[in-house]
Amino acid sequence: MPLLGLRCGAAIAGAAVVGLAVAGCGSSADTSSAPPTTSGAAPAAAIPVVASTNVYGSVAEAVGGDQVEVTSIINSPDADPHEYETTPADAVKVGQAKVVIMNGGGYDDFAGRLVDTASTKPAVINAVDVSGLETQVPAGEEFNEHVWYHLPTIKKVADQLAKDLGAVDSADASTFTANAAAFNAKIDTLIAKLDAVKAQHPGDKVAVTEPVPLYMTEAAGLQNATPEKFSEAIEEGTDPSAAVLNETLGLFTDKTVKVLLANSQTESPATRQVEQAATAAGIPVEGVTETLPVGVDDYVAWQSQQIDTLAKDLGNS
């Protein structure tokens, strides 16, 4: 499934999007991106961990604490994991890593290639594999690989990470387990927030530009009313047909949906039309992202803000 990345020199729909917005924009041709970031102030004996994106890097820092040195290869909203071209520095980092965390599901294949070519073989945590979600997809339906929006999966990733770090550093194994438990307790508060949305807005309909946030909206008991052909076209970087676009625009003119969740890292003429139609109809537009927004380095804070914005938008629509 192609990435919902930045395509054709698209610019972020800043003023049109309510909620979280991400500064900066790239294209599939711009694969240089910012260099991978490494968490600072790590002790000399810190366990080297590499994450494909800063989403998983944030989880690694929460579980590993001061005992890990985390490098996030994708740390900018300008980079497209499907188009990312690895560098020699990336290969060195993965070769030194004791643990590598990736999303999987075709989202960040570059990470798997780096592991395959590394002279050493780190423990690999594939979030899609850990989730078990891919095996639950009904025949004929597309798998949604954006599992970092599936909170139970993030808890499983944290638990597996604690085990893998403990295998590297047995002296601190109990610390990693405790850190994962504390992190997962925070995830439980996010799940409780989604449960509250579900109790207050059962069956409310929403629209999306792409499938990025669907695990979150499903957990909140919301129905996705977006024509499948529209979100598929946007995800694949193509233009939906005029008929599909008109059907999608009708969701807003008819006020069928209460909120539009738009991927802030992707914009096209079709998504601009959809956002403009929602705004004209007085329907809130919430920006959602694939990586941590600029200035945010905490997974729980990021997701909490998105859920709070969703609840507010549903209440105001």
Tokens 């999007």 sit at which residue?
17
What pLDDT, on the 0 to 100 scale, is given for residue 39?
Answer: 52
Surface-to-core class of residue 138, CB atoms within 10 Å of its CB (0-12 exposed, 13-18 middle, 19+ buried): exposed
Bridge-partner residues for 218, per DSSP? none
Residue whose C-alpha is closest to residue 23's, from 44, 1, 6? 6
CA atoms within 13 A on the CB side of 137: 14
C-alpha span between 47 and 68 (Å, rounded): 4
Query: Considering Cα of 253, then 257, then 259, then 264, what sign does the dihedral take?
Result: negative
pLDDT of 151 reads: 98
Over its length of 317 residues, how does the chain's per-residue pLDDT go in tens digits? 444 333 433 333 333 333 433 333 333 333 334 555 555 444 458 999 999 999 999 999 999 999 999 999 999 877 777 778 999 999 999 999 999 999 999 999 999 999 999 999 999 999 999 999 999 999 888 999 999 999 999 999 999 999 999 999 999 999 999 999 999 999 999 999 999 999 999 999 999 999 999 999 999 999 999 999 999 999 888 999 999 999 999 999 999 999 999 998 888 999 999 999 999 999 999 999 899 988 899 999 999 999 999 999 999 76
Tell me, what's the pLDDT at 317? Answer: 65
**Residue 37, pLDDT score:** 56
Instruction: Give the C-alpha separation, 16 to 261, whole Å.
Output: 11
The structural domains of the chain, ordered by start, are: 18-26+201-316 (3.40.50.1980), 37-192 (3.40.50.1980)
